Structure 1
Amino acid sequence: MAKYNVIFVLGGPGAGKGTQCENIVREYGYVHLSAGDLLREERQRPGSQFGEEIETHIKNGTIVPVQITCSLLKRAMENSGKDRFLIDGFPRNQDNLDGWNKEMSDVATVIRVLFFNCPEEVCVDRCLSRGKTSGRADDNEESLKKRIKTYNESTMAIIEHYRNLNLVSEIKAEHGPETVFEDVKKVLTDLQ
C-alpha cells in the first residue's frame, strides 16, 4: 500500500491555519484534517469511548493523549479514499511527535510543514473575534492563555525539529488571508 502524503500545518491559535487549509483544499485538492475538529466531533459522537476524556482536555487547554488523536487521524485518512492530507494543529508536542512516528510512520510520510508565524497579539485578537460567533469553548481569554503557553513551550520545539530536517516552510501570517495564501501557493507549487 502506498503511504499517505502529509503536510503538517502548525502555528499559534488564531494564526490562520484553518483559513489557509480551506484555500489549499480548494486550489490543490488536499484533504484537510484538523486534529482539533476531529477531537471535537469525537467528543460529540454518541457512545464515543474517548468523549469524556477529550472534553476534559479541551476545557483545561491541555493536550489529548496522542494515541487517541492518531487513531482519529488514521480513521479519517482511511475513510477519505484520498492520499494527500493537510493535518492542522498536530503534532503539538514531543509526545505527539513520538506517537505519530510510532503509530503512523508505516502509513504516512510528512512531505512538508507549513509554519504560520503570527504575532501573539494578532492571534489573540483573531481568536476573541472568532469566539463571538464560533461557539468554540476554547475561544476565550482564559483558554487562549493556556493554549498560547502550550504552543510556546511545546509546539515550537516540533517546528524546530522539522526545520532541522529541512521540511519547514515559514509563512508570515499576520497579513490578510489573500496575501498569506500567495506565499502558501509558492510553497505548494514547488511540491507538485
Structure 2
Amino acid sequence: MEGGQPAERYGDEDQQPKEKTGLDRVLCKKKPEVLIIFVLGGPGSGKGTQCEKIVKEYRFVHLSLGDLLRNEVSSESDIGKQVKTCMAEGKLVQVEIALELLKNAMDKSKNKRFLIDGFPRNVDQAEAFEDKICKPSMVLYLECSSDIMEKRLMERGATSGRIDDNIETIKKRFKTFEKETIPVIKYYENSGNSVLVKISSENDIDVVYGEVEKALKNLLFV
C-alpha cells in the first residue's frame, strides 16, 4: 500500500478482485476512497495532542470541529455570531452548521484520511454525518476523569486566551459532554460494528499514544 491509497480499485467487469486489505474493509461505503476516524473525549482529554501525533506518523488530515467553529467566530460572519453565543454558553451548535463546516474542510483537502476531533458530540450529529457523508472507520474514545480534565483546561486557559477556557464555561462543557456525548459512545458501543476503541488518556502522552498506535495499526494493516 503506497501513499495511503487502497491496493485495488474495483469496477472493471473483466477485472478479477483480489483479496481485500484491512484498509479496503474499513473504507466508507458512500465515499469508498475516504477513511474517517472520529476522536472523542471530554474537554481536556487530550484529543488535539494525540491527533497531532497521528497526523505526523500516518499522514491523516486533522479536522477539529472546535477549531473550525473558532475560525468561524473570528470571521464575524452571521453563522460565527451564532456559534460564539453557543460556545460562551457551553452549548452545542446546530448539526447543520457542524456538518457544513466539516464537509467544506474535507472537500478542500486532497488527502483521503481524516481525523475528526470533537465530533460527533451527540447522537443526532452521528446519525446525520452517517446519512449525509459516511460511516466512520473507527471511533476513538479517550477516557479521562473530570478532575484531570479540569486541571488541564485551567492550566491551558492561563495562556490560551480561549473564550471557553474559564472555570464557569468548563463546568458547563462537562455537563454538556455527560448529557450529549456519552450517549454517542453508547451508540457506537451498541452498533455491532466494532468501530469503538476506548483508551485511557490519563497517563503520559507517549504512553497514551502507544495504545492509540496499536489501534491504528489494527485498523490499517490487519
Amino acid at match of 1:170: K
Q: 2:129 aligns with which of 88, 100, 110?
A: 100
Residue aligning to 2:199: 171
Matched position secondary structure for 1:110: coil
Paired residues, what number? Answer: 188
1:42 Cα deviation after fit: 1.1
How many angstroms apart in 2 are the aligned matches of 1:26 and 1:147? 29
> Per-residue displacement from partner, 1:135-179 (whole Å, max 9, x unpaired)?
111111100111001111110110111112321110011011111
* Partner SS for 1:9: strand
Q: Runs ≥4 in structure 1, deviation > 3 angstroms? A: none
TM-score (norm 2): 0.82
Q: Which amino acid aligns with 1:59?
A: A
- Structure 1 residue aligned with 2:63: 33
What does residue range 25-104 of structure 1 map to in structure 2 within 5 Å? 25-46=55-76, 48-104=77-133
**How much has 1:101 moved relative to structure 2?**
2.7
Q: TM-score, normalised by structure 1?
A: 0.94
Contact kept? 2:123, 2:187, Cα under 8 Å: no
The answer for unaligned runs of 5 or more in structure 1 is none
The structure 1 residue matched to 2:143, chosen from 104, 114, 117, is: 117
Report the Cα distance in structure 2 between the residues aligned to 1:4 and 1:12, rounded to whole angstroms. 26
1:131-150 correspondence runs (5 A): 131-150=157-176
Which is richer in helix?
Answer: 1
Identity of aligned residues (%): 44
Coordinate RMSD, CA, aligned? 1.2
Instruction: Measure the CA separation in 2 of the matches of 1:167 and 1:191.
Output: 9
8 Å CA contact retained: 2:63, 2:116 = yes
Q: Note the residue ranges of structure 2 that are not aligned, 5 or more in a row.
A: 1-30
More strand by share: 1
More RCO (CA 8 Å, sep 6+): 1
Measure, in 2, the Cα distance between the counterparts of 1:184 and 1:23. Answer: 10
CA-CA distance at 1:58 after TM superposition: 0.6
The residue type paired with residue 116 of structure 2 is: I
Larger-Rg structure: 2
Aligned-partner residue type, residue 218 of structure 2: D
Specify the alignment match of 2:38 in structure 1: 8
Residues 20-73 of structure 1, C-alpha deviations (whole Å, 9 max, x = no match):
000000011110000010010011125x34111011101110000011111110
In the alignment, the residues of structure 1 paired with residue 210 and residue 123 of structure 2 have an alpha-carbon distance, to the nearest angstrom, of 31
